[in-house]
Amino acid sequence: MSSESFEKKPPALDQAKLMDQIDSEKTELKKLEPGQTRLDQTKKYLIDFSWGVAKAASGTALGITMISSSILAGGAVGLAISFRNLPDVRILRSYVPSETNYIYDVKGRLLTSLHGEANREIIPLEKISPDLKRAVIAIEDSNFYEHRGINFSSVGRAVLANYRSGGVSEGASTITMQLVKNLFLTTERTLTRKLAEAVLAIRVEQVFTKDEILEIYLNNIYWGHNNYGVQTAAESYFNKSATDLNLAESTVMAGLIQAPEQYSPFISYKATKNRQSSVVDRMATLGWIPSEEVAKTKKEPLLVGKPTAWKASRLPSITEAVAAELVKIFGKERVLKGGLRVQTTVDMNFQRMAEKSVTDSHRMLRSWGVKVDQVALAAVDPRTHFVKALVGGVNYKESQFNRAIESRRQPGSSFKPFAYYAALVSGKYTPSTVVDDAPVKYRVPKGWYRPQNYGGKKDLLGKMSFKESLIQSRNIPIVKVSKQIGLDKIIRICRELGIESPLQPVLSLPLGSIGVSPLEMAGAFATFASNGWHSKPTLILQVTDSRGNILLDNQPKPKKILDPWATATLTTMMKEVITNEKGTGKDANIGRPAAGKTGTTSSERDVWFVGYVPQLATAVWVGNDNYESLGKGISGGKHAAPVWRNFMLKALKDEPVKYFPAASNFPRP
């Protein structure tokens, strides 16, 4: 109620007549009880409510005035309107409050939490500390288990206290009334809102048990510092679950409800202890704790935690990528409010190793005189297509742009394996097929297209095997081959391999003239590594709701999409990119069977190395965000391959050596 309700002197009333009218209403309602409707029952409670106010007010003009204004005047018109327009409290049966989402690494270690304004985790009533339940009821509504939504005697006391103070000095809200106010109503302090609160409280008590009401209440109220609900509040204030709170901690928590920030131990430990003392004294007065516990509880020091609502992620580049993937699957609102439990495919220690490897390699490249600002890396397990590492740049604090998934840069010759596979699977080419590394030109819409090798117009080798053209990364032969087998076929294969970036059937396509992301390249090469078995790369292993129900299960469901002979043959050819003396990727040699391809774009703006072993496929990109040249003579073989090598040596340290299947094991297309 607003203080304005008490500023004018109430008019004189015939008190006896009004009391008779109330008694008459009660008598009539008693006659309806055998076939009583909820509206009738609610009306009965409101008459009881008015009688309680009058009785507490000892028949004063104030008491009678409050009854007349709130029940007789407001009741006749206001209740009729209220019953028609107030929300149906039965929706609480299906009400799901916003909850915090939690993201874990593959071993179950918490990486971060995602939420909007409300940081909340739902916990069943039976798992909440008994001390906390008693403390909250004691200080907020000690008659909670006795009333039916409205505590009549408390209303009377509040009316008198507010009248004497000339304002709103004391409330009379029960836990049920607080709940409906938080969920259904505004916070304005008016008689109309208070009447609606009373009506809704009665309705809630008709539909729900006391334990159900208390559980909803404890999981919804605000506890300070963006913590909504008792579980996240307990974790924030005391680094423990609400299940494990002791009496001292419970009385602090209960005291916070009235003014969370004012009594927060993060703001004023003294104010916290003073408020705690009030709660302890109330519990002692009620006889809910033994006298010997009073002083002990007040003196017990508090091991205070720290705010957790906006805690930084332990792997920000991973959790941001996961959040983006969740939004695509579940929608933005569900991600912010859905109470999701997300297990990622990434091991926290492995990711940190990858980040350090990229940082160290960047430092190494700079020491070599390479004008490089950024390095990005993506690693995928070919057996599952689970993402194992994503490093979006050299320093996340300086730049949050994740180049491993968000940046599309020209892959240069590292794109050639898609064209080579298309040629092999066509049945028209084998590793020994002769191709001609000689000048050629093609009519295009704006003139002529003349592909050139890395060394320029004079860099020509003439007749050579199909395999040698890949090992030495010759441009002219693969353009000729791609034109002969069809550029659309190459694009179709890229789509099957999961490359979603825009692709155009232009003659320069096999030379990597289009932009792709490191993750797209790692995922596609992972399918080569698995000899043609493909799944969509993902950062998410499983998603459940807060009750453990599985919402998304990304257990591997690979499909055979590539021809095994063509794939095994391509892998054999790419192994020699690393092991052959003339191979462009000699600096990627890790001392075990591995296959890969270098990539260098014109003007040395982007250099790549993408390679794999049976257990891991990794793409490395080196370049500058402003597309400036890395420097004359910079190449994927000399400057990206060493970065790949440094990472793979660490990544495979505890992995056994495995071998690729031989092409001779499969029939040729």
Please check the confidence at residue 460 and state whether its pLDDT lies above 70.
Answer: yes
User: Does any domain span residue 386?
Assistant: no
Q: H/E/C letters for each residue in 198-251? A: HHHHHHHHHHCCHHHHHHHHHHHCEEECCEECHHHHHHHHHCCCHHHCCHHHHH
User: Does any domain span residue 542?
Assistant: no
Least confident of 40-44, 338-342, 387-391, 407-411: 40-44
Structure tokens at 201: 């409280």
User: Does any domain span residue 637?
Assistant: yes
Q: Do residues 451 and 507 lie in contact, with contact meaning Cβ atoms separated by under 8 Å?
A: yes
Structure tokens at 324: 């983006």
Residue 94 pLDDT: 59
Please check the confidence at residue 360 and state whether its pLDDT lies above 50.
Answer: yes
Cα–Cα dist 474/165, whole Å: 92
Q: Which is more confidently placed, 447 or 29?
A: 447
User: Does any domain span residue 574?
Assistant: yes
Residue 107 pLDDT: 95
User: What CATH number is attached to the domain comprising 467?
Assistant: 3.40.710.10
User: Does any domain span residue 485?
Assistant: yes
User: Does any domain span residue 186?
Assistant: no
| pLDDT bucket at 91, cuts 50 / 70 / 90 | low
User: Does any domain span residue 380?
Assistant: no
| pLDDT bucket at 178, cuts 50 / 70 / 90 | confident
Residue 201 pLDDT: 81
User: Does any domain span residue 274?
Assistant: no
Please check the confidence at residue 261 and state whether its pLDDT lies above 60.
Answer: yes
Please check the confidence at residue 305 and state whether its pLDDT lies above 80.
Answer: no
- Residue 106, classified by CB atoms within 10 Å of its CB into exposed (0-12), middle (13-18) or buried (19+), is middle
Instruction: Give pTM, 2 decimals.
Output: 0.70
579-598 pLDDT, tens per residue?
A: 999 999 999 999 999 999 99
Question: How far is CA 435 from each of CA 375, 467, 477, 590, rounded to the nearest angstrom?
Answer: 35, 9, 6, 30
Edge-to-edge strand ranges of the sheet holding 595-600: 387-391, 374-380, 616-623, 606-613, 595-600
Say which residues have a Cβ less than 8 Å from residue 82's Cβ, sequence separation at least 6. Answer: 195, 196, 199
Residue 112 pLDDT: 83
Q: What is the mean pLDDT of residues 162-174?
A: 55
Closest CA to 540 of 386, 355, 415, 405: 386
123-159 pLDDT, tens per residue?
A: 899 999 999 999 999 999 888 888 888 876 666 555 5
Closest CA to 252 of 278, 268, 272: 272
Please check the confidence at residue 227 and state whether its pLDDT lies above 90.
Answer: no
- Residue 216, classified by CB atoms within 10 Å of its CB into exposed (0-12), middle (13-18) or buried (19+), is buried
Per DSSP, the three-state class of 342 is strand
Catalytic center residues? 140, 413
Please check the confidence at residue 114 and state whether its pLDDT lies above 80.
Answer: no
Q: Which is more confidently placed, 36 or 281?
A: 281
Say which residues have a Cβ less than 8 Å from residue 514's Cβ, sequence separation at least 6. Answer: 410, 415, 501, 502, 503, 504
State the residue range of the domain holding 599: 412-536+558-665
Residue entry with tokens 């002769």? 434
CA-based torsion, 626, 627, 631, 636: positive or negative: positive
Helix, strand and coil in the chain, % to nearest 5: 50, 15, 40
The structural domain count of the chain equals 1
Q: Do residues 132 and 288 lie in contact, with contact meaning Cβ atoms separated by under 8 Å?
A: no
Q: What is the mean pLDDT of residues 358-366?
A: 97
Structure tokens at 567: 């794939």
Q: Which residues of 122-143 are buried (b: 16+ CB within 10 A; e: fewer)?
A: bbebeebbebbbbbbbbbbbbe
Say which residues have a Cβ less than 8 Å from residue 318's Cβ, sequence separation at least 6. Answer: 111, 344, 346, 351, 390, 539
Q: Which is more confidently placed, 195 or 582?
A: 582
Q: Which is more confidently placed, 305 or 480?
A: 480
381, amino acid identity:
D
Residue 158 pLDDT: 56
Helices (H), 141-190: 152-165, 175-184
Residue 493 pLDDT: 97
Q: What is the mean pLDDT of residues 442-464?
A: 89
Output the average pLDDT for the chain: 83
- Residue 108, classified by CB atoms within 10 Å of its CB into exposed (0-12), middle (13-18) or buried (19+), is exposed
Residue 134 pLDDT: 93
Residue 118 pLDDT: 57
Please check the confidence at residue 457 and state whether its pLDDT lies above 80.
Answer: yes
Please check the confidence at residue 84 and state whether its pLDDT lies above 80.
Answer: no
